[in-house]
Structure 1
Amino acid sequence: MRHIILIAGFIAFFCFPVPYSSAEKINNIKPMMLEDKNYTEYWEQYFYLNDGSLVTSQFLVANFPWPIGKEHGIMLGTLVTPEGKLYVIKNGRDRGEWGFDENALDIYIHTHRLKATENSYLVHLENTMAVVDLQLNSNLPAFDHKRFESEDGYIETSYYAPSLTGIGNWQLGPEAGFDPAGPVHNADFATGFGVHVLMTDKVDQFIKYWSRIIGVSKDGIKPFLSSITRPDISEDIIFKLFEGDKVIDDFNDVKINYSDIVSEKDASYPKLITVSAKSSRGTLEGTFKYTKKFSHFNLNEHLNFFEKSFAKSNPVVSNFRYLVDYNLVYKTSEGEKVLSGKGLSEYMDILPPKKAPVKTRRRNRR
């Protein structure tokens, strides 16, 4: 069963291409449950806790080939402790052991749950690896990336909760080496975002790179950046400034430069991002510099030999998660402000499936 869960998670994220049915508009409340053989949909949450830890969770629903089947649910989460130790929290279940509310965002998969009530959200992750609880608020309206289509499918991307703040705690369990459980770690401030993705083709047909940054300060102005580079090298960039429950600026002319590139195996990521942007209110220029490493997460590294044999034909996704220092100059008719602080960043590098080497037949000698 453990093998099937991991295989399902890998196949779900990358999918097998088939012709897609009529396009559906993304619905942030509930899964679309499409009939497409390669239908994949997930709600993903990233949080920085002020004890220095990182929590991610992905509640995923997809149709799979045999032996897994259609309408399968998976929760794939990670916890990075303040000391930098990575723990993977995951479970997969067939329909009946996962479900959702038709009228409000409320998804459970096994013992994991993502639930919304008015402007508040609850994230609960629980298995033998760890227990995580987060209580959060978000009063900002959702906003979307542009729809993008491939020859065989499409992708819709919506930040259903662009800026989440609240409190949380986590506790490691027996699978992490504790008997029966480790101490409870409390954080009186947690911040992050929630994003919802619906796609009907392999992920490498939609995304080449995806950079996401959000300021983690409790007060003041904080930046939000989501920049997707498509396979055709076109860019879809969302860049905003938040202050409390308000969007104080939304930039429509944004230029980004990635530099100090670091190569790791077949993937790469920048250590410095330079941005210049314009809006109807003013201009902004500055940098995001990678500082503290949380994790370099590649699902392949958490598969065994049997599972890796299934992964060979799928795109390779590398997630580089860091704390960044930002230094930005924001100019409007009201004057100039220097915005500086720390942000939570993930840079995703996606490569097409590796082609198997062509085997040459040896000639028989006579």
Structure 2
Amino acid sequence: MPLLISEADVPLADPGAVAAALIEHMREHDVKFATQGARTIVEFYDGLGVLEATGDGLKLRVEAPDRTVLEILRAVVAEHVLAFAGEELADIEWRGDTEAGPLFSDFREMRLERAVMVAPRMRRLTFRGDAARFASRADLHVRMYFPPDGDERPQWPRPGPGGRTIQPPDGRRPALRYYTVRRADVAAGEVDVDFFMHEDGGPGAAFAAAAREGALVGMAGPLGRAAAPAAFTLFAGDETAIPAIARMLEEAPATARGAALIEIDDARDATPLVAPAGVEIRWLERARAPAGSRLLVEAVRAAPAPYDSDCFVWAGCEISDARAIRAYLRKERGLGHERHLVVGYWERESAVER
């Protein structure tokens, strides 16, 4: 299948400064990129983005295997370029493959069918709709859009002509959060999503607590990679990562070897997990210490993983803990990008769930 390509030229007063700011932003967020002179190539969402500073602006190019990825790349690139430009700019005028529908290609409207508690503080919601869209084994997560209370005919984000996302007006805009697809049953048209019921949870936890049968949500994706195959896999995460770790363990081959380090508040959150016999499960209780208190970081540092052989590390946790784990794996253990995936799911200061 031929690549789809969109290109654009963005006039800027100081293109070099904007390019430098974008590169630093990518570095902070662990995006894979390579810079050669004024040209930077970025790898994301199964596609490529090319950014080149010229004398009077930025040359942009995005390449993707399908229209869904191309829409995402255009939106991501446009939003970031315009945000870092620091000046009033008109919409970016893309050329090439620019066709767009009324909603993003990866977006589906889903309807809540049922809810059940699978642990004292974990509620599983089953949604009915196009489950095939979210049945990927390589990608774990979806973007979920929760409409304001009482909005029976939700309005959803849609692609704008310049690539940027057009949001519904204030008062109608759905809240966006990221969650793990726990199960996708294509034949039944069902998608399961597990919600950890925070005491002071955000819109996702509030939606799960109310769990009104027939309620509509938006779902887009999938995205967020699973652990790559390896002889030994070290999983690490807090309560927010339990659904992802549980799913990866269930889908692992019976011969898999590894360990799962899971930080929880107390024994109530030790959700029953199905795992291969060769994977050790360790529950790390905080004993009422604040979440993201570095308990998980220290556990990863102490884990006897065979870093010098075929080993992969997957972690999902609080953002500062994720940075510390990532730095340890790279600087002290010498793991390259291809041998670990460490994701910040939420931030302690703002307590924003992902």
TM-score by length of 1: 0.25
Q: Which has the higher strand share?
A: 1
Q: Which has the higher helix share?
A: 2
TM-score by length of 2: 0.25
